[in-house]
Amino acid sequence: MSDTPTQLDFNDGKRAPQLGFGVWQIDDVHAAEAVETALQTGYRSIDTAAIYGNEKGVGDGIARSGVARSEIFLTTKLWNADQGYDSTLKAFEQSLRRLGTDYVDLYLIHWPTPAKDRYLDTWKAFLRLRDEGRIRSVGVSNFQPAHLDRLLAETGVTPAVNQIELHPDFGQRELVAYHAQHGIVTESWSPLGQGGELLQQPVLVELAKRHGKSAAQVVLRWHLQHGYMVIPKSQTPSRIRENFEVFDFALDAAAMQALDALEAGHRIGPHPDQLQ
Ligand code: NAD
């Protein structure tokens, strides 16, 4: 098998690295260091958000890495308080300024916040920015089928990506099936279950031993083989590297099934219908 990192095709003709690097809960200074390490390791996709407060650090890390901006797939997200047409346009400018770039590869509506009922206007602003060439691909995060149906019905434009909480003990099968029907790429957040009990599961420990890999690497392989984009986070250089070394082995069908069987409906974050 090839050790080359894999890419995924979007419904808008664009492509993205399947494995990226997430930077939630890292401050500006450490984000710059971590992003520089990640890019030097070989990652070419970085996932941040306005609310993480580290877009400047991400931009600094990209600049310091020596990797050309054009080789990097950069994602950021619009925060809930900025939803609405004009406020989206304004927040986008601020994100670009902090990131030190003039476009993003993927811009996501961070949460639908249905009680605000502004995600449709927000989406229309996203489409304008895409038409102006400043967002290469438009997507959403934490959207449920009802929210996706509404975007589609009102604008006819399907998001390229829906970034959702997803790990082996929270497999989101119904949402994933909806994505497959509509040509939406599934992107897994908290893919390692935030490094908690998931990684101690005996089946994972056994598979890790069998493959000479870590439990985290086995979990990342599970995401990749399901066809998801995946954005593990770490601040530790050795783990940043470890999480990238997942293209030189494969899980067989029985191993994939054993990991699927960890499904426990174990949501870590808030339910998207409830977060304001
Ligand atoms: P994660 O599942 O990536 O877990 C990260 C934690 O796991 C680390 O802090 C560390 O404690 C541990 N870890 C990392 N590598 C390890 C390894 N090799 N071995 C053992 N432990 C390891 O969790 P996350 O940070 O919540 O999610 C990843 C990214 O997803 C975030 O950084 C962010 O970019 C994105 N995210 C998006 C949303 C959203 O609402 N869209 C929400 C949460 C996270």
DSSP H helices, the chain, are: 28-41, 55-65, 85-99, 119-131, 145-155, 173-182, 202-211, 215-225, 237-242, 253-260
Q: pLDDT tens for residues 182-218?
A: 999 999 999 999 999 999 999 999 999 999 999 999 9
* Ligand 1 pocket test, candidate residues 37, 233, 268, 273, most atoms within 8 A of CB: 233
Ligand 1-lining residues (CB < 6 angstroms) = 22-24, 47, 110, 141-142, 163, 189-195, 199, 214, 216, 231-234, 239, 242-243, 269
| Residue 3 confidence class, pLDDT cut points 50, 70, 90 | confident
Q: How far is the CA of 230 from the centre of ligand 1 (A)?
A: 10
Ligand 1 centre to CA of 154 (Å) is 34
Nearest to 108 by CA among 132, 86, 82: 82
pTM of this prediction exceeds 0.75? yes
CATH level 3 topology of 7-195+225-249: TIM Barrel (3.20.20)
Active site residue 52: yes
Q: Which amino acid is at 1?
A: M
Rounded distance between C-alpha atoms, residue 155 and residue 33, angstroms? 40
C-alpha distances out from residue 32 to 50, 59, 174, 193, 232, Å: 15, 7, 37, 24, 16
Backbone angles phi, psi at 246, to 5 degrees: -130, 15
Mean pLDDT score across all residues of the chain: 97
pLDDT digits (tens, 9 = 90+) for 150-163: 999 999 999 999 99
